[in-house]
C-alpha cells in the first residue's frame, strides 16, 4: 500500500482508508457533517487529541461529543483559556499562572494590580461571550524553548512554568486570535464551541500553593455541555446555599465556632440534642447485635502510635504534649486503644466474635484552609467499632456490619453506593495477607449480591476497605460508613486467642464505622433535611402557643400530656402577636405547632400545623399525643 494512505479503524472495528495527514475533523466530515458539528475532541490510539492534528500513521480513533466525559473536560479546559483571553483584552498587563479543570468547571490564577470585584466578573464574562461570537479558530503550535521564552518574556509566571518543562519534552502553545497560552492541550477547534458557562467568584490563591509566594487572584467558573445543564447546576447551587449547614446551624442554634479553638465545634443545647439522638439510635442498634461499648483515653504515649504504625502515617496530623518527660499524643483514632483492651484478657475461640464499640473523641490537625463547618474539623466523635474474629467468621461479621449500615441509612432516607478500596502505595504488611483480605471482601460483596465498584489503591495503610457513599436530598455524594479488614494490627500488638487445639493464633480485626464522624454526619443531615429534621430527631418537636393568657392553664395541660410521653415540647408565652409566634416557630422548622384557644380548651383538642403544610387540623388531644409518640418510635421521615 502507498505510503500516502492510512488505515483508520473505528470503535466498532470497521476500517477505512484515508490520505496521510488526515485530521479527525476530516474523518468526521466524511462520515457525516452532523458528526463533524457535534465532535469536540477525539482520540488516536487511545491518546486524547485535538480534532485538527494530522494523523501520520495507521490508527484506531474515536470521536467524543460534548456529552462525553472527554468532551466536557476539554470544553472546561478551553473555557479557562477563553477566560484568560478575555482578561488579557480588558487588562493587558495581566500575567497568568495555571488554569486547570476542576469539578463542574475551571479556574485561572492571575497576577493583576487591580483587585477584582463581582462587577468586574460580569465585565469579563461579557467579553468572553463576545469572543465566543467571534468563533475564533484555536490552533496548536510546537515551539522551541527560545521561541517560548520570547513569547512569554513579559509574563514571569509563564516563564516559571516553562522552566519546569523537561528539556526533552515538546513545548506547545495554543493560539486563538490575539491570545496564546503555554499548554499541552487538547482544546476545542474554535471559541464558538464554548457557550454554556458562568463565572462564579474570585478569591486569593498563593502562587503554586506556597504561602511564601505572591498572592494571586483566582477566578472560578463553571461550564457545561448545554444551557439546560448550566441552569440546572445554578438551581442546584441555590438549593445547596439554602441548605448550607453553617447557615442553618446558626439560624437553628445548633453549634458555633470560636477563635479560641479553631476548627473545633461548640455544640449548643439544640445541637447536643441532635448528637445525643444519633448516639442513642446507634447505641441501641449495636446493643441489639451484642456490641460491647467501651471508652479509651483521649491521650496515649507516643510509643503506642509507633507500635501501631499510625506514627509513620499520621504524625504530621497529630497533637503532642510532654508529660513526665515523655511524649504523648491526642488520639487521631480509637483503634490502638481497642487493641490494648483485647490484649488485657485471655480469649478462647468460643469468645469470638468480640464486637467492641466506642463513641470516641479524636483529634486530627487539619490546615486552616481545609476547615469547613462540621464537614471538616480538628476534633470529632468517631463511632468506631472493632470486631475481633476468627478467619471463618469474617464473612458473617461483614454481612452483619453491612446490615447495620443499611438499616441506619434507610432510617435517614439515604440511597448509597458501595466501593471496594484496595492496597495503597504506602501499605503495611505482607502482600499475600493483603491479597487474602481483598479476596475476602470481594467474596462478601459478591455472595451477598451487593453491586460495587473498585477504587484501586485507596485502602487504609493496614488493610483494604469497603466504603459506603451516601447520596443526600440534592444528590451530592458523601463517604461516611466504612468496613476495613485488618491482618496487621493483631500482628503489631501480638494479639492472640486459643483455638480448638488450644494453640495461640491471631484474630482478624474488622474496623467498622456507620456515621464515620458524628460531627460530619450531622452536618450532612442538616443539609439533607434542610434543617427540617424528622420529628424523632428534631431538637424541639412541638411548640405550644396559647391564643391569650386565659388559655395558659390548658396550655400547661397539653404540655404535661406530651412530656409524659417524653416529647420535647416548648411553650411560646411571649407577649407577641399570634401570627409572629407562628412564623418564628416555622422559621425554626419545628415539626408541630399547636395553637390553643377557647374552642380547643372546651373540646379538649389541639389545632395542629405541621411543618411544610399550611393546612390546620383540629384533633383530640390524646389522639395527637399518641400519633406523635408513634411517629417518634417509628422514626418516620418527613413527608413532602
Across 417-437, b (16+ Cβ under 10 Å) vs e yields ebbbbbbbeebbbeeebbebb
- 190: DSSP letter: B
Residue 310 annotated among the catalytic residues of the structure: no
Residues 6+ apart with CB under 8 A from 593: 542, 543, 545, 582, 585, 586, 608, 609, 611
Least Cα distance to 241 among 531, 498, 506 occurs for 531
What is the rounded CA–CA span in Å between residue 515 and residue 510? 16
Beta partners for residue 219, in sequence order: 108, 202
What 3-state DSSP class applies to 373?
A: coil
- Marked catalytic residue, from 158, 218, 310, 335: 335
- Marked catalytic residue, from 158, 465, 520, 601: 465
- Marked catalytic residue, from 243, 511, 520, 609: 511
Indicate the burial class of 602 (C-beta count within 10 angstroms; 0-12, 13-18, 19 or more).
Answer: exposed
Task: Dig out the grid coordinates for 450 from the structure.
Answer: 451487593
Least Cα distance to 534 among 635, 416, 435 occurs for 635
What is the rounded CA–CA span in Å between residue 485 and residue 438? 8
SS3 content of the chain, % helix, strand, coil (to 5): 40, 30, 35
Residue 183 annotated among the catalytic residues of the structure: no
- Marked catalytic residue, from 77, 386, 528, 581: 386
Query: Is residue 353 within 8 Å of residue 393, measured between CB atoms?
Result: yes
> Cα dihedral sign for 389, 310, 379, 402?
negative
What is the rounded CA–CA span in Å between residue 404 and residue 500? 30
Query: Is residue 594 within 8 Å of residue 578, measured between CB atoms?
Result: no
Least Cα distance to 354 among 487, 479, 508 occurs for 508
Task: Dig out the grid coordinates for 603 from the structure.
Answer: 373540646
Residue 386 annotated among the catalytic residues of the structure: yes
Residues 6+ apart with CB under 8 A from 67: 225
Q: What is the dihedral of CA 577, 580, 584, 586, to 10 degrees?
A: 110
- Marked catalytic residue, from 198, 217, 382, 484: 382
CA 265 to chain centre: 19
- Marked catalytic residue, from 81, 364, 551, 609: 364
What is the rounded CA–CA span in Å between residue 202 and residue 112? 12
Residue 465 annotated among the catalytic residues of the structure: yes
What 3-state DSSP class applies to 390?
A: coil
What is the rounded CA–CA span in Å between residue 93 and residue 617? 67
Task: Dig out the grid coordinates for 337 from the structure.
Answer: 486503644
- Marked catalytic residue, from 384, 472, 486, 572: 384
Query: Is residue 198 within 8 Å of residue 234, measured between CB atoms?
Result: yes
Q: Which residues are catalytically annotated?
A: 335, 364, 382, 384, 386, 465, 511
Amino acid at each position: 500500500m502507498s505510503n500516502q494512505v492510512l488505515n483508520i479503524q473505528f470503535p466498532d472495528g470497521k476500517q477505512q482508508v484515508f490520505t496521510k495527514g488526515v485530521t479527525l475533523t476530516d474523518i468526521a466530515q466524511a462520515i457525516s457533517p452532523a458528526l463533524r458539528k457535534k465532535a469536540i475532541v477525539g482520540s488516536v490510539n487511545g491518546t486524547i487529541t485535538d480534532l485538527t492534528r494530522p494523523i501520520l500513521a495507521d490508527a484506531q480513533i474515536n470521536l467524543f461529543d460534548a456529552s462525553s466525559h472527554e468532551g466536557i473536560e476539554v470544553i472546561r479546559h478551553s473555557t479557562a483559556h477563553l477566560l484568560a483571553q478575555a482578561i488579557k483584552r480588558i487588562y493587558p498587563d495581566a500575567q497568568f499562572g495555571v488554569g486547570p479543570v476542576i469539578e463542574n468547571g475551571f479556574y485561572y490564577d492571575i497576577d493583576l494590580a487591580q483587585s477584582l470585584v463581582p462587577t468586574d466578573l460580569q465585565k469579563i464574562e461579557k467579553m468572553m461571550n463576545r469572543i465566543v461570537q467571534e468563533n475564533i479558530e484555536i490552533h496548536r503550535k510546537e515551539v522551541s524553548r527560545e521561541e517560548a521564552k520570547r513569547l512569554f518574556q513579559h509574563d514571569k509566571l509563564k516563564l516559571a512554568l516553562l522552566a519546569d518543562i523537561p528539556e526533552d519534552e515538546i513545548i506547545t502553545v495554543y493560539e486563538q486570535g490575539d491570545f496564546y497560552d503555554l499548554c499541552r492541550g487538547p482544546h476545542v477547534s474554535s471559541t464558538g464551541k464554548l457557550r454554556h458557562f458562568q463565572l462564579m467568584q474570585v478569591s486569593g490563591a498563593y502562587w503554586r500553593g506556597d504561602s511564601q509566594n505572591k498572592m494571586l487572584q483566582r477566578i472560578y467558573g463553571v461550564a457545561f455541555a448545554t444551557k439546560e445543564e448550566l441552569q440546572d447546576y445554578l438551581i442546584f447551587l441555590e438549593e445547596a446555599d439554602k441548605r448550607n449547614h453553617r447557615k442553618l446551624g446558626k439560624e437553628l442554634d445548633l453549634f458555633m465556632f470560636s477563635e479560641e479553638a479553631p476548627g473545633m465545634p461548640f455544640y449548643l443545647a439544640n445541637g447536643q440534642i441532635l448528637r445525643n439522638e444519633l448516639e442513642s439510635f446507634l447505641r441501641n442498634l449495636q446493643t441489639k447485635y451484642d456490641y460491647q461499648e467501651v471508652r479509651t483515653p483521649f491521650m496515649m504515649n507516643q510509643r503506642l502510635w509507633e507500635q501501631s504504625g499510625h506514627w509513620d502515617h499520621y504524625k504530621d496530623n497529630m497533637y503532642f504534649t510532654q508529660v513526665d518527660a515523655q511524649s504523648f499524643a491526642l488520639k487521631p483514632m480509637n483503634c490502638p486503644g481497642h487493641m490494648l483492651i483485647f490484649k488485657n484478657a485471655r480469649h478462647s475461640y468460643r469468645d469470638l466474635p468480640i464486637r467492641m464499640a466506642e463513641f470516641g473523641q479524636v483529634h486530627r490537625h487539619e490546615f486552616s484552609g481545609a476547615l469547613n463547618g462540621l464537614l471538616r474539623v480538628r476534633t470529632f466523635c468517631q463511632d468506631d467499632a472493632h470486631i475481633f474474629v476468627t478467619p471463618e467468621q469474617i464473612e458473617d461479621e461483614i454481612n452483619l456490619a453491612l446490615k447495620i449500615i443499611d438499616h441506619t441509612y434507610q432510617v435517614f432516607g439515604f440511597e448509597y453506593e458501595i466501593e471496594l478500596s484496595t492496597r495503597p502505595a504506602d501499605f503495611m504488611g505482607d502482600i499475600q495477607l493483603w491479597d487474602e483480605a481483598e479476596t475476602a471482601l470481594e467474596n462478601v460483596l459478591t455472595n451477598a449480591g451487593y453491586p460495587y465498584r473498585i477504587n484501586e489503591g485507596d485502602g487504609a495503610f493496614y488493610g483494604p476497605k469497603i466504603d459506603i457513599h451516601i447520596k443526600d436530598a440534592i444528590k451530592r455524594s458523601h463517604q461516611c460508613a466504612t468496613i476495613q479488614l485488618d491482618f496487621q494490627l493483631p500482628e503489631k500488638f501480638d494479639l492472640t486467642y486459643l483455638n480448638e487445639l488450644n494453640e495461640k493464633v491471631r484474630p482478624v480485626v474488622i474496623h467498622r464505622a456507620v456515621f464515620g464522624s458524628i460531627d460530619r454526619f450531622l452536618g450532612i443531615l442538616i443539609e439533607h433535611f434542610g434543617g427540617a429534621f424528622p420529628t424523632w430527631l428534631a431538637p424541639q418537636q412541638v411548640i405550644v402557643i396559647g391564643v391569650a393568657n386565659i388559655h395558659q392553664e390548658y396550655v400547661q395541660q397539653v404540655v404535661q400530656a406530651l412530656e409524659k410521653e417524653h416529647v420535647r415540647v416548648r411553650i411560646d408565652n411571649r407577649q407577641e402577636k399570634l401570627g409572629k409566634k407562628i412564623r418564628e416557630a416555622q422559621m425554626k422548622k419545628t415539626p408541630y405547632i399547636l395553637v390553643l384557644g377557647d374552642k380547643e380548651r372546651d373540646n379538649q383538642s389541639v389545632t395542629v400545623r405541621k411543618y411544610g403544610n399550611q393546612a390546620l387540623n383540629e384533633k383530640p388531644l390524646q389522639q395527637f399525643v399518641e400519633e406523635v409518640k408513634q411517629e417518634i418510635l417509628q422514626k418516620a421521615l418527613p413527608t413532602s
